[in-house]
Amino acid sequence: MLLPLVLLVPLGFVVTHIAQTGEAGTGPMGLAIVYLLLMLGAHAVLVAAGHRGDPLLLPLVATIGAIGLIMLNRLAPDLEETAAFGLDFTVAETQLLWFAVGVGAMLGVALGFRNDGLLRHYKYTWAIAGALLLVVTFLFGREVNGARLWIYLGPIGFQPGEFLKIVLVVFIAAYLAEKRTLLRDASARIGPIRIPPLPYLLPMLAIFVIVMLVVIFGKDLGTALLFFGIFLTMLFVATGRRSYVLIGLLLFLAGSFVAYRLFDHVARRVDAWIDPFADPSGVGYQTVQSLYAFGRGGLFGEGLGQGLLPTAGGRFFGVETDFIFAVTAEELGLIGAFALLALAVALIFRGLRVAMLARDDFSAMLAVGLTTSLGLQTLIIVAGVLKLIPLTGITFPFVSYGGSSLLASFLVVGLLLSISHRSALAAEREARPT
């Protein structure tokens, strides 16, 4: 499954180069080669180590990442380079570096995590660590583009929120797996609606509070939405009760409404969502230009390297992060954008399959949570640039530029591989006659 990539990635680089320079040539092919070696190497390592995990996860990630790398390479000439260690790195190069780090982390987790006891039994420790991380970010974080999410250690900035995501999933998975058997049917009723019992309700409210804090102090709507969404999804899978999800959604809507009335930055985002054309050069600018980009893309796209979005208004902000999907759709058309979405869906389904085959509740819940984090993240950002929901500053996993996001996503995949490996081992053990 990885083999077609060997053709795809170089092809993408060549097309971009010709389109951008008007000459025959290959562009920075070195990047493509390094990427392919990285992915093929990772695959080889897994095979050599006798890994039994899901065989499609890595190829899917590699394909999605490949599209991301091709797009970043395409954007590189239009964007600034990062200076570090005395050298200048283009966005594509930086991303590739993070790819390498990410793959390493993924392999480490996939192969090294023999026993998930560390996760399962210390859930409260994880929860406290996560809360501390959040507090630290609020207190010491630097506000970047309206969201206080970043912590800088020297020249390297990273977003703790990305890793908090994983910690949150671990905690909720452990908590729900434990409580699930004890509380299957106990729920209070208020009128015709089922209210979750206290052990469910308390964490729900706690997380709701955390989420609202993130919105208010962190000024990040996207992460808040993501956290809450992950929690509700995991709650649904654990209990099967749609009413709990409904209550959670209502809570969230109520909270959002209050936030809309009280807080300016929330109000601005929502107004820009409702009618961006009312203020096309002000609040609605990004959404409007994004929609234009989609329109220009049409069915087959304008061609790699020939889109107008990156240079709209001089330099379009966020084109390598939030709007990378818009550029992809503009240049590869509906056909290309749909393919990317389909690949993301395939990855999600694969993750859910890992969850279904898991041997115990905790692993299953963990897999569900991790998969949902990737899936919801993709959904939120795509829906945002399409004006289906308000725009939020969330990254498209494996595609958007961003080291923390990439690393966290690879950790997620690593954990999924680890879970599926253990499930497969257990299945093999059972099939062996005694």
Partner 1 sequence: MIATNIRRLAVYLLLAFAATSGGLSWWQVVDASTLAARQDNPEVIAARRSALRGTIFDANGQVLASSQVIDGISRRTYTDAAFSHIIGYASLRFGTTGVERAWDDLLTGRSDPNPLRDLVNDILARQPPPTDLTLTIDRRLQDYAAAQLGTDVGVVVALDPRSGAILAMTSTPTFDPTPISGDPATAAGPMEQIGAQPNNPLVDRARQGRYTPGSIMKVLTASAALDSGAMTPETTFPDQPREETEGFVVEGFRVLEHDLSPVTPALWPFSPALQVSSNIFFAHVGVELGSERFLDYAKRFGFCEPLVIGPSDRGLSVSPSYVTAVAEDGGCAPFADTAEVAQAAFGQGRVNVTPVQMALLAATVANDGITPAPYVVRDVRAHADDPAAGPSERVLTTYRAEGSRRAIGSGAAAQVRAAMVDAVHGELGRLYAGAGDVTRYGVSGVSTAGKTGTAERGPDLPPHSWYIGFVPAQAGGTPAIAVAVIVEGGGSGSGRAAPIGGAVMAEWLKILAAG
Partner 2 sequence: MTGEILRILLLILQLSFLALLYLVLFGFARSLLRDLRSAEQAQIASQAGIGRLAVLESPEDEPPAGHAIALGPINSLGRNVNNTIYVEDDFVSANHAMLTFRGRSWFIEDQGSTNGTYVNGHRIDRAVALSFGDELTVGRVRMRLER
Footprint of partner 2 (CB under 8 A): 1, 4-5, 7-8, 11-12, 14-15, 18-19, 22-24, 56, 59-60, 63, 67, 181, 184, 300-301, 303-304, 332-333, 335-336, 339, 342-343, 346, 349-350, 353, 359-361, 430-431, 433-434
* Smaller CB separation from partner 1, 268 or 296: 296
* Cα 358 to Cα 367: distance, rounded to the nearest angstrom: 8
Q: Which two tokens stand for residue 84?
A: 């570090």
Could you say whether residue 11 binds partner 1 (CB under 8 A)?
no
* Smaller CB separation from partner 2, 7 or 253: 7
Neighbours of 198 (CB within 10 A): 12
- The site string for partner 1 over 224-253 (x = CB under 8 A, - otherwise) reads ---------x--xxxxx-------------
**Contact in structure between 280 and 387 (CB atoms under 8 Å):** no
CB of 6 to partner 1, least distance (A): 26
Could you say whether residue 53 binds partner 1 (CB under 8 A)?
no
CB of 164 to partner 2, least distance (A): 29
| Range list of H helices, 143-284 | 160-182, 198-213, 221-239, 242-262, 264-274
* Smaller CB separation from partner 2, 142 or 242: 242
* Residues in a beta bridge with 189: 194
* Cα 174 to Cα 7: distance, rounded to the nearest angstrom: 43
CB of 121 to partner 1, least distance (A): 20
Q: Which of 17, 15, 12 is nearest to 27 (CA)?
A: 17
Report the b/e string of 179-188 with b at 16+ CB within 10 A. Answer: bbeebeeebe
CB of 431 to partner 1, least distance (A): 19
CB of 336 to partner 1, least distance (A): 10
Strand order in the sheet with 147-153: 142-144, 147-153, 156-158
* Cα 67 to Cα 81: distance, rounded to the nearest angstrom: 20
* Smaller CB separation from partner 1, 34 or 352: 352
DSSP tag of 214: I
- Angle between helical axes of 198-213 and 221-239 (0-180°, round to 10): 170
Give CB contacts under 8 A, 24+ apart, made by 179-182. Answer: 180/238, 180/239, 180/361, 181/361
Q: Which of 45, 97, 105, 386 binds partner 1 (CB under 8 A)?
A: 386
CB of 114 to partner 2, least distance (A): 18
Question: Strand, coil or helix: what is 274?
Answer: helix
430 binds, among partner 1, partner 2, none (CB under 5 to 8 A by kind): partner 2
240 binds, among partner 1, partner 2, none (CB under 5 to 8 A by kind): partner 1
Q: Which two tokens stand for residue 116?
A: 């998930």
* Smaller CB separation from partner 1, 22 or 240: 240
CB of 433 to partner 1, least distance (A): 26
Looking at 2-126, which runs of residues are DSSP E strands? Answer: 82-84, 87-89
Could you say whether residue 366 binds partner 1 (CB under 8 A)?
no
* Smaller CB separation from partner 1, 341 or 426: 341
* Cα 374 to Cα 350: distance, rounded to the nearest angstrom: 12
* Cα 275 to Cα 287: distance, rounded to the nearest angstrom: 9
Could you say whether residue 5 binds partner 1 (CB under 8 A)?
no
* Smaller CB separation from partner 2, 24 or 87: 24
Binding stretches for partner 1 (CB under 8 A):
233, 236-240, 280-281, 288-289, 291-292, 294-303, 306, 308, 312-313, 329, 333-334, 337-338, 341, 344-345, 348-349, 352, 355-356, 361, 364-365, 368, 372, 375, 379, 382-383, 386-388
